[in-house]
Amino acid sequence: MLGAVALVFAASPGFAEYMQVPATSLVPEVADRLASVVQKAGPTVFARVDHASGAGAEDMELPDARRVIFGNPMPGRPPLQQDICASGVLPLRVLVADEKGQTTLIYESVDAMFAGLMSIPMPYSPRK
């Protein structure tokens, strides 16, 4: 079963195209600031996942890693209406992780996320 899950992820379009941005504070602080900035910009923070805490509950260890999941239904709705498979990449998510002592924000390129979907026009450009 685990092999099948790994195969699905490995075969996903754009799976390996991740952007990495170093941060200067610890993971909890950066994740809090990210969530705050996202909310002030307008999107909704749907969830925050503390991977290390979840692993700790099962007596396993992971470096500190927190995922912030966010989006906005207005620009997100058209891609989902055109191809429900867009739900595999929406809502957006950013991982804030401790990478060998360096806090790093890790997220998938928006272009890579939508690359395998049916010519979905983006209702806006996040780079503008």
User: Which of the two residues, 29 and 80, has the higher pLDDT score?
Assistant: 29
Hey, what CATH class is 18-114 in?
alpha beta
- Which pLDDT belongs to residue 121? 56
* Amino acid found at 97: A
Section 25-33 average pLDDT: 97
**Is the pLDDT assigned to residue 46 strictly greater than 60?**
yes
pLDDT single digits (tens) 56-101 = 788 888 889 999 999 988 888 888 888 888 888 889 999 999 999 9
Distance CA 45, CA 35 (A): 7
- Which pLDDT belongs to residue 55? 82
